[in-house]
Amino acid sequence: MHNNKETYTDKPHTIFPWNDSFKLGILLVDQQHERLAGLVNILANHLIYNADVPALSAVFNELADYAVYHFHTEETIWHQSVPDDSWETRHKDVHDSFIEEVSRLRAGYGGKPLDEAVPDILSFLTNWLAFHILDSDKRMAKLVRATQSGLPLEEAKRLTSHEMSGAIKALIEALLSMYQTLSCRTLQLLTEIVERQKAEVKLRLASSVFDNTLEAICITDADGIIIDANPAFSHITQYAHDKVLGNSLDTLMLGAESDAFDIANVWQAAREEGHWNGEIRSRCRSGGVKAGWLTLSAVKDERGNICNFVAVFSCVEQLIKRQHEMEFMVNHDALTQLPNRLLMTDRLELAIAHAERSHEYLAVCFLDLDGFKAVNDVFGHAAGDCLLQEIARRFSRASRRNDTVARVGGDEFVILLNGLRRSVDCCLYMDKLLDEIEQPVLIKNDIIRVSASIGIALFPDDGNSAEALLRHADQAMYRSKKSGKAGYCFYNALQNYGGAF
């Protein structure tokens, strides 16, 4: 069975059970009857499992088309034995009436959406199919067998009518009544079972969300007495689950950020408007108080009376902490914890604006480690990472509080020096920094030494934008490398030198 919605059991259900009482003794016809019954059951299963309209329509169309094919097969067999007889004509009229009814249903489903019309369609199909097989087709099959045994047509018709009357007729009527009741009740029962299974799945999902969400959730009765709480609630309040149950939610509402906060007003708003939300302070078992955001929602029964309240606490401290962590990840290098290019550019633009107002210099220093590739090749990338972390720590130690050190590439760093009175003020810092970098680094049992090439661009002499200063500092750094590494070069000196890059 094809169904693009949730499946709750692998076993298909049967509302039209096939058994030997339906067999006519004509193999091809019996096989096609069984196939029709199977299609009715497939359509029923699609309805039970809430298949979408295209899937329902596809099965219904397949069933209708197969019925037309089956009627053609039957009529060919009947015509070979009783050609142009009134019984054949009457039987064909029954087929035509079925096709007409199915065509009407296919065109408009009785004025209902297909998913609403299917129960009526199934009732029609099961009743018609059972009657057609047990009465009309069985009558024709008996007539065919009688004529094939050598009886004249009229005598065969009298014999068939006699066999289909009396006790046989009563039995057929009983079977038809049984199938009508059975199919209807089975469909109702199976639909209820599947709906219950769906509800159970939703309950399990809701229970999983309730137990695993980071938000603290508790459920109270109509009087605000806690009847259930999730693990996060116990974690935030520091009260065990069994200690929470039976207590009033008011004990957690000590006050709010607003002076107008009143517990009675909270409950009144929740009862009258259906919900309340705002910042509160919740009590911990240790006696501490945590700021939190409370959403209190009323739950009503089928008569519209409030039967429960659901309280959801979001710990503001934790939310702020998570927000800060996310902001840090966006703006910092994961390996060294230094600012990244994004944060460096932002700080550089702010520093330029400040330097313009204060008429100060600032220096953008682009630094590239000398020999870092060899460290990775000889000692491995793990050692290279350790080296970068140590170099970052040395940068931080050597920097002033208002300076910024950023990692902008594999072994590339940018240092922003603020508040320089003279353009040469950064030279002392560069000398100190180069000395720090060249000190040996012990990683496990290996002593590693590197140096650095630094390019310096000054504001306002070498550019008045972040993009220009970074580009010019990068060019000066390459000049420093060409000049023998382990040193620094000013962009202004590079221009005076006549270098072009």
Burial class (CB in 10 A: 0-12, 13-18, 19+), 485: middle
Q: Which of 81, 70, 89 is nearest to 129 (CA)?
A: 70
> Does this chain's domain 20-204 share its CATH topology with 332-490?
no
| Strongest mean pLDDT among 63-67, 91-95, 378-382 | 378-382
* Domain 20-204, classified CATH 1.20.120.50, yes or no: yes
Binned at pLDDT 50, 70 and 90, residue 459 comes out as: very high
pLDDT at 201 over 60: yes
| Adjacency order of strands within the sheet including 487-490 | 404-407, 412-420, 361-370, 451-459, 487-490
At 95-138, the pLDDT tens digits run 888 888 877 776 765 556 655 666 777 777 777 887 778 778 88
How much of the chain, in percent, has pLDDT values that exceed 90?
32
* 216 contacts 226 by C-beta, under 8 angstroms: no
Domain 216-315: state its class. alpha beta
Phi-psi region of 84 (alpha: psi -120 to 50; beta: other; left: phi over 0): left
For the chain, the structural domain boundaries read 20-204, 216-315, 332-490
At 292-331, the pLDDT tens digits run 788 899 999 989 999 999 999 887 676 667 777 888 999 9
At the topology level of CATH, where does 332-490 sit? Alpha-Beta Plaits (3.30.70)
At 258-275, the pLDDT tens digits run 444 577 888 888 999 999
227 vs 127: which has the higher pLDDT? 227
